[in-house]
Amino acid sequence: MQNAKPHAALLASPGMGHLIPVLELGKRLVTYHGFHVTLFVVATDVSTTQSLLEEPYPNLNVVNLPLVDISGLIDPTATIVTKIIVMMRETLPSLRSAILALKSPPTALIVDLFGTEAFAVAEELNMLKYVFDTSTAWFLAITIYVPTIDKSVEDEHIIQKQPLRIPGCKSVPFDDTLGAFLDRNDQTFIEFKRIGIEMPMADGILMNTWEDLEPTTIGALRDFQMLGRVAKVPVYPIGPLARPVGPSVPRNHVLNWLQKQPNESVIYVSFGSGGTLSSDQMTELAWGLELSKQRFIWVVRPPIDNDASGAFFNLADGSEGAQKFLPEGFLARTREVGLVVPMWAPQVEILAHPSTGGFLSHCGWNSTLESIINGVPMIAWPLYAEQNMNAAMLTEELGVAVRPKTSASERVVSRAEIEMLVRKIMEDEEGFEIRKRVKELKYSGEKALRSKGGSSYNSLSQIAKHCEHSLHFQKAKAQG
């Protein structure tokens, strides 16, 4: 039957960390479930985002929504999360018009965490509405649980700095709490709670995790009792969705260099699409790497002293002259063993390369998944957002990473500690054990995605079925 397969509209909020998993979800819906997908992207002027979207994919159309000017709407010092949320809000009228302009009306709207206000558009246009939590189940649990807790419990966590207990899940120690909780008067906190209320209003919540990675938390999320006053909403672990090695990535000098290094001998150092370090921290990291005497690739950005997400919308600046902010002589002394890459590197290709043996990462969830699916052990160096929670899970629960003793975002980690951590992950017995565990996780993730019985494959199939039913129902209704 022509047009028997559903059309899904996907909405990605600005930032590679959101766009990548939403795009991968679109590809899976097309390839494995026969969907037609329209991906709406909220335009920013970040060039790395555009390059991702240039690779054509059959039955997946990308629509760039117009750039929105939020300069008059928020304080310029607002957090990156608040900026993204306000951009998404301002985009809603263009999203509505763009959906109405499509030739075939979509059956479902799937938004990421920052797009839940678009549910109103989905309801108006008779579409199913889903939200895709591009992070962990643990992060989802805290997001939808927090708006329901009593003020006294909230105070206990935020003011008295006690661990936040989430029924059925691991508690969140204050030191690992979400960035949004650090200032209750900030707009980010208020918006975060709103999102937590809106998410359970969806027809389902998709998560970029898998059953065997977070069985307890996923179980708790499914347990109505755990959610207390939260509406019961089905949750679908559909991960690990991560960007594959691109066929069209040109062989650049980084990959050529990597090709000449021994197996699993190089540690890759990168802080995601927006992470930046203070100048003192950069100096210590440079010394730590040098003293470890390990091979490395380091994505270097100009230091910013009090904004760990300082490069988020700002990747075009300062792409030259890394030597200006590295210790004197560092580049010359490490020339034989290290490669400094300004601003941006082909991360997926680096992590998939056999010469890469470790990853010092800010623990953004995409970077984490890319490391896991390539069996690469990590040094967890969280900077902002939910990255501390990710780091805690990777070290304490999954045992696939080591971490500086106290929060890297709150103090300068010394060169001695960095040297020790790098050696541990690259050449110690403990590092080999960690490597073994991460390889086990890699296989577990592959298994979840298999089209024969994979838990994540089955989860997405259930959503596909709901969409198909809804489409057939609407058609039948239209035919009277």
Q: Which residue, among 159, 243, 170, has the nearest Cα to 397 in the 3D structure?
A: 170
Q: How many chain residues are in contact with ligand UDP, going by CB under 6 A?
A: 19
- x/- contact string, 14-43, with ligand UDP (CB under 6 A)? -xxx--x-----------------------
Sequence-distant (6+) residues with CB within 8 A of 424 are 402, 430, 431
- Binder of ligand UDP out of 44, 49, 270, 371 (CB under 6 A): 270
Report the residue from 14, 274, 302, 382 that binds ligand UDP according to the rule CB under 6 A: 274
C-alpha–C-alpha distance, residues 81 and 353, integer Å: 33
Q: How far is the CB of 364 from ligand UDP (least distance, A)?
A: 2
Site string for ligand UDP, 313-352 (x = CB under 6 A): -------------------------------xx-xx----
Q: State yes or no: residue 257 binds ligand UDP (CB under 6 A).
A: no
Instruction: Provide the minimum distance between the beta carbon of 101 and ligand UDP in the complex, in angstroms, as a whole number.
Output: 30
Catalytic residue among 7, 33, 36, 112: 112
Judged by CB, which is closer to ligand UDP: 35, or 139?
A: 139
In the complex, the smallest distance separating the C-beta of residue 273 from ligand UDP, rounded to whole angstroms, is 3
DSSP 8-state class, residue 146: G
Pairwise CA distance, residues 274 & 300, whole Å? 11
Which residue lies nearer to ligand UDP by CB, 273 or 409? 273
Nearer to ligand UDP, 107 or 276 (CB): 276
3-state secondary structure of 272: coil
The closest of 179, 180, 172, 176 to 138, measured between CA atoms, is 172
Query: Least distance from C-beta 60 to ligand UDP, angstroms?
Result: 18
Could you confirm whether 112 is annotated as catalytic? yes
In three-state secondary structure terms, 429 is helix
Pairing outcome for strands 128-133 and 108-112: parallel
Least distance from C-beta 153 to ligand UDP, angstroms?
Answer: 29
Q: For residue 210, state whether it binds ligand UDP (rule: CB under 6 A).
A: no
* DSSP state at residue 412: P
Instruction: Name the burial class of residue 77, with classes exposed (0-12), middle (13-18) and buried (19+) by CB atoms within 10 angstroms of its CB.
Output: exposed
Structure tokens at 286: 């440079």
Closest among 215, 91, 90, 81 to 143, alpha carbons compared: 81
Minimum Å gap between C-beta 192 and ligand UDP is 16
Q: Is 366 in the site for ligand UDP (CB under 6 A)?
A: yes
Residues 6 or more apart whose Cβ sits within 8 Å of residue 321: none
Say whether residue 273 binds ligand UDP (CB under 6 A): yes
Catalytic: 183? no
Of 10-18, 31-39, 121-129, 160-168: span binding ligand UDP (CB under 6 A): 10-18
CA atoms of 173 and 145, how far apart (whole Å): 16
CA distance 175 to 321: 35
Adjacency order of strands within the sheet including 36-42: 60-65, 36-42, 7-12, 108-112, 128-133, 204-207, 235-237
* Contact between 370 and ligand UDP per CB under 6 A: yes
User: Which of residues 5, 7, 129, 243 is near ligand UDP by CB under 6 A?
Assistant: 243
409 near ligand UDP, rule: CB under 6 A: no
Q: Are 422 and 289 in contact (CB under 8 A)?
A: yes
Which residue's Cβ has the minimum distance to ligand UDP? 17
The residues assigned a catalytic role are 18, 112
Q: For binding to ligand UDP (CB under 6 A), which residues are involved?
A: 15-17, 20, 243, 270, 272-274, 299, 344-345, 347-348, 364-367, 370
